[in-house]
């Protein structure tokens, strides 16, 4: 009888131990990340581990809300940091389709603001080849209008 009681007690203890362990392991990541130190540890790992960082960025890129947040933060930071602004500018010019899209998007904004228009014109005129190309294009369009 004593042996049976010991066996039952041991089985109950083992069941409680397994149950406690599984509950501890079963705690969700969300619960774990409520702890600020755990958040920092995860963020540091993501920032320092190239492969995990790339996976995280891809997850963010696949989510419209997250992509919007990234762009907002990047633009806000670039508006205060010329080094970052130059890096973004360099990346935009590296991809011609993105450059055209960006230019197309900002032309109406520039046109609606006289200060921006003046600044844009002054900046454009500083680049002789661009100014010549624009002048030639305007002259060509004028010649087409005269012929019709």
Angstrom distance (rounded) from CA 124 to CA 133: 11
Contact 49, 41 (CB under 8 A): no
Residue 64, phi then psi, degrees to nearest 5: -60, -45
- Record the pTM: 0.50
Q: What is the pLDDT of residue 140?
A: 85
pLDDT at res. 80? 93
Give every residue of the chain whose pLDDT is below 70, as ranges: 1-27, 147-148
């Amino acid at each position: 009888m004593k042996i049976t009681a010991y066996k039952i007690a041991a089985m109950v203890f083992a069941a409680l131990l397994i149950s406690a362990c599984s509950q501890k392991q079963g705690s969700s990541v969300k619960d774990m990340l409520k702890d600020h130190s755990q958040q920092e540890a995860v963020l540091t790992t993501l920032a320092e581990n190239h492969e995990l960082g790339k996976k995280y960025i891809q997850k963010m890129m696949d989510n419209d809300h997250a992509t919007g947040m990234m762009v907002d933060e990047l633009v806000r930071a670039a508006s205060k940091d010329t080094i970052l602004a130059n890096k973004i500018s360099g990346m935009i010019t590296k991809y011609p389709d993105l450059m055209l899209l960006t230019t197309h998007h900002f032309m109406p904004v520039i046109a609606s603001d006289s200060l921006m228009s003046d600044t844009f014109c002054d900046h454009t005129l500083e680049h002789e080849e661009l100014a010549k190309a624009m002048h030639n294009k305007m002259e060509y369009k004028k010649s087409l209008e005269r012929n019709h």
